[in-house]
Structure formats: structure tokens, C-alpha cells
């Protein structure tokens, strides 16, 4: 019999159209056969992956969705409400002031660090996740990875610890709104404002890249905008050290959000690098200037579209967009990583030029066609075409 957690996983997978009821039943039969043979039973989701009904990224997303739905289920309340802390409670030297947010991972509070008398964001891991030692290791890596990064566009990691059986992570407190909240409130952003935010986050990614870190989950929800307009990248808990052995990060190798996930993450590739973050930032920029995500549908359908479907022209939705902004988005969201900006520094240079009013696209109109829509055209080829055109133009002038 499947456990309650496995049942919720299977129910979510079918409801969100990641797989069919028949495929679930097939895997239950496979596990029954393994049990009859006296073999060690792997987790149910591993059988689904082994039978090629799901990919590892899809498993991660289903688990996240199922955990969130479980939090709404009174039967599982003991596992999700245990991260609650009353106002005035002191945990590990931090006084809880008020709850900010709650998710499947745990609860985030506004708190006061008593020793330094400063306001911080205090994340308490849920009891259920605290019992998962593999997750705890990943959680602790989050703290160590974030603590390495000191940059004005990255939310600073301050402390990690355990007190009274509760594991916690302390971060810089930011008084502002996420880009996701801003989009929900006001729809598509002003183009120049959106480009300015993306430029700041590109600088954050550049700093992370220099420390061999990949965020893996860049999205509007993970971009904070302060009252003075500063943008800060948050939730580096899904970051992966790019210079570590892949076996150390296998458990969390693909945690991207479907609406902004890169094709390589959607395919479950292990060799994900900073170019995946550039794709996700491009998808976020698309949402910011258009007012809707690039692809719609069930999570499984959206992931497939990120892999195979041509990007809808943002100008068809927002005709006021600059041609070069559309070209930039297409380049950032090229299906193949080799056709995107190769580093955040490359992206920063294009953004700075664009914001200053300089042309960045190789096409005179700023539009690309065919393979060029995917950022695959060679810049050198375009330069040769322009040089040949200039020579022909000179020849006509002489006649």
C-alpha cells in the first residue's frame, strides 16, 4: 500500500497531467513485483523515473506542489504548522516579531537579532523537512553558499542554526515587494523599469557566478524591489556549487519553476550552469514587460513548451516594446545554452547599452527570423552582410 505522502504525490501527478492513472498503476504493479521478490523497495517516484514516465525535474515540481496541497489538508497539519512561532518567542537569540510568509519549506518571520539589535528575516524549517537529513544537508549548504555572497543586489545570509529542535536560517530583512507582487498588482511593468531591475539582478548573478554558484530558480517571486527601487535576488536555497561533485547535489539537481525553467532543467540535465539562470531571467523579463508568462498550460505542458516550442513574440502582446528589448529576450531565452549570453557580464553589457539607448541587435529592425529568433544566428555573419551591403552601396554611389 502506498503511504499517505506517496498517495498525495500520485494524485498530484495525475491531476496536473504529468502522467496518467494507468502509468501510476503500472508502477504500483512494478513495486508489488519487487516486493514479492524480496528486493529493497525504492521510493515510488524513483520507479516512475526508472520507467521513464517522469523526469527528475518533474518529480521535484510534483513534490513541491504536493507538499503545498498537503499543508492545506487538516490531516497533515501537524507536519506543516510546527514551524509556527508566536510573537515574542525567542529562538536561538532571535525574537519573533511577525509572520511574513509560509510555504511548503517552512515559515518566514520578521524577527529581531537580540545581540545586534537589528531586524532580520528568520526562516524556520518545517518539522517534516527537519527529519529529512538529505534535505537538511541541502538546507545547510544554502546557508553556507549564501553567506559567501556580499553584494548590494543579493539578500545577505546571516546565520544558520538549531534551537529547541527547530532548524532556522537568518537573512537580511528587505522592506519591499517581490516582482511577482508588483505584477499581480499593476500588470506589465514600464519597460525601462523592468530593464533596470533585470540589470541589477544580472549583476547579482555575475557576483554569484564569480563564486561558482548557480541559483537554479530565478523568477519574479525571488526578486525583491525595495522602496528606493533597488532590486535584490533572494532564495539562494536552491543554489548549486558548480565546482562540487555532482553526486553531492543530486538530490536537488533541478528545482526550477515551470513558468521560468530552462530547457536543460526541464530535460533533467545535470550539467546546468549560469546560462540556465540567464534563461530564467529572460523568462522573468518577458513576464515583466508583457504581463504574462511565456508559455501557459499544465506544468508538464509548460515544461515541454520550454524545450520545443518557439517563443511567442512579446511584441504581439505589447506593441510598444522596443525591438531591441524583444531581441534581448529572444537571445536570453534561446533553446540552446550556447546561443544565449554566455556569462552575466555579457548580458550586463547589452543591458547597459540598451538602457542608454544604444542598438544591441545585429538586425537593422531589431527583429530576428527563422533560426535567429532563437538567438542562433552568428554575429560575425551579420557583420559580413552589413560590410557587403556598405560596399555595394558605395559602388552604386560612384556610378
**In this structure, what DSSP letter does residue 131 have?**
T
Cβ partners under 8 Å of residue 29, min gap 6: none
| Distance from C-alpha of 228 to C-alpha of 367, rounded to nearest angstrom | 34
| Distance from C-alpha of 37 to C-alpha of 103, rounded to nearest angstrom | 40
- Answer yes or no: 101 catalytic: no
- Answer yes or no: are the C-beta atoms of 321 and 291 closer than 8 Å: no
- Answer yes or no: are the C-beta atoms of 367 and 323 closer than 8 Å: yes
CA 99 to the chain's CA centroid: 24
- Answer yes or no: are the C-beta atoms of 252 and 229 closer than 8 Å: no
* Residue 36: CB atoms within 10 Å: 8
Interior angle at CA 250, CA 154 and CA 163, nearest 5: 60
- Of the residues 217, 235, 339, 374, which is catalytic? 217
- Answer yes or no: are the C-beta atoms of 231 and 201 closer than 8 Å: yes
| Distance from C-alpha of 51 to C-alpha of 276, rounded to nearest angstrom | 27
* Helix, strand or coil, per DSSP, at residue 37: coil
Question: Which of 146, 175, 393, 194 has the alpha carbon at shortest distance from 290?
Answer: 194
* Helix, strand or coil, per DSSP, at residue 154: strand
- Answer yes or no: are the C-beta atoms of 152 and 197 closer than 8 Å: no
| Distance from C-alpha of 322 to C-alpha of 374, rounded to nearest angstrom | 18
* Helix, strand or coil, per DSSP, at residue 125: strand
Strands 94-102 and 90-91: antiparallel
| Distance from C-alpha of 117 to C-alpha of 112, rounded to nearest angstrom | 6
* C-alpha cell belonging to residue 320: 510598444
- Answer yes or no: are the C-beta atoms of 254 and 57 closer than 8 Å: yes
Active-site positions read: 217
Amino acid at each position: 500500500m502506498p503511504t499517505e505522502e506517496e498517495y498525495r504525490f500520485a494524485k498530484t501527478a495525475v491531476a496536473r497531467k504529468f502522467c496518467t492513472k494507468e502509468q501510476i498503476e503500472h508502477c504500483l504493479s512494478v513495486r508489488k513485483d519487487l516486493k514479492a521478490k524480496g528486493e529493497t523497495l525504492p521510493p515510488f517516484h524513483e520507479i516512475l523515473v526508472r520507467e521513464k514516465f517522469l523526469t527528475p525535474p518533474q518529480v521535484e515540481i510534483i513534490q513541491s506542489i504536493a507538499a503545498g496541497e498537503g499543508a492545506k489538508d487538516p490531516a497533515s497539519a501537524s507536519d506543516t504548522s510546527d514551524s509556527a512561532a508566536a510573537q515574542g518567542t525567542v529562538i536561538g537569540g532571535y525574537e519573533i516579531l511577525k509572520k511574513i510568509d509560509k510555504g511548503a519549506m517552512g515559515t518566514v518571520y520578521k524577527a529581531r537579532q537580540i545581540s545586534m539589535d537589528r531586524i532580520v528575516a528568520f526562516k524556520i524549517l518545517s518539522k517534516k523537512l527537519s527529519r529529512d537529513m538529505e534535505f537538511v544537508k541541502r538546507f545547510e549548504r544554502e546557508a553556507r553558499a549564501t553567506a559567501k555572497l556580499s553584494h548590494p543586489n543579493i539578500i545577505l545570509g546571516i546565520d544558520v542554526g538549531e534551537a529547541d529542535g527547530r532548524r532556522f536560517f537568518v537573512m537580511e530583512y528587505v522592506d519591499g515587494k517581490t516582482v511577482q507582487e508588483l505584477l499581480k498588482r499593476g500588470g506589465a511593468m514600464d519597460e525601462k523599469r523592468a530593464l533596470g531591475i533585470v540589470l541589477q539582478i544580472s549583476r547579482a548573478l555575475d557576483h554569484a557566478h564569480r563564486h561558482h554558484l548557480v541559483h537554479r530558480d530565478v523568477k519574479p517571486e525571488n526578486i525583491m524591489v525595495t522602496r528606493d527601487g533597488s532590486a535584490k535576488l533572494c532564495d539562494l536555497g536552491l543554489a548549486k556549487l558548480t565546482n562540487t561533485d555532482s553526486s553531492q547535489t543530486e538530490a536537488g539537481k533541478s528545482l526550477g519553476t515551470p513558468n521560468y525553467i530552462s530547457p536543460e532543467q526541464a530535460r533533467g540535465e545535470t550539467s546546468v550552469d549560469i546560462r540556465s539562470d540567464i534563461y530564467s531571467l529572460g523568462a522573468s523579463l518577458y513576464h515583466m514587460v508583457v504581463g504574462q508568462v511565456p508559455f501557459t498550460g499544465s506544468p508538464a505542458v509548460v515544461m515541454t513548451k520550454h524545450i520545443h516550442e518557439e517563443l511567442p513574440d512579446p511584441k504581439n502582446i505589447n506593441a510598444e516594446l522596443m525591438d531591441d528589448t524583444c531581441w534581448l529576450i529572444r537571445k536570453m531565452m534561446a533553446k540552446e545554452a550556447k546561443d544565449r549570453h554566455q556569462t552575466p557580464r555579457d548580458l550586463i553589457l547589452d543591458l547597459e547599452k540598451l538602457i542608454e539607448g544604444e542598438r544591441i541587435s545585429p538586425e537593422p529592425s531589431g527583429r530576428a527570423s527563422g533560426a535567429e529568433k532563437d538567438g542562433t544566428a552568428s554575429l560575425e555573419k551579420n557583420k559580413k552582410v552589413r560590410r557587403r551591403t556598405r560596399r555595394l552601396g558605395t559602388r552604386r554611389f560612384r556610378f
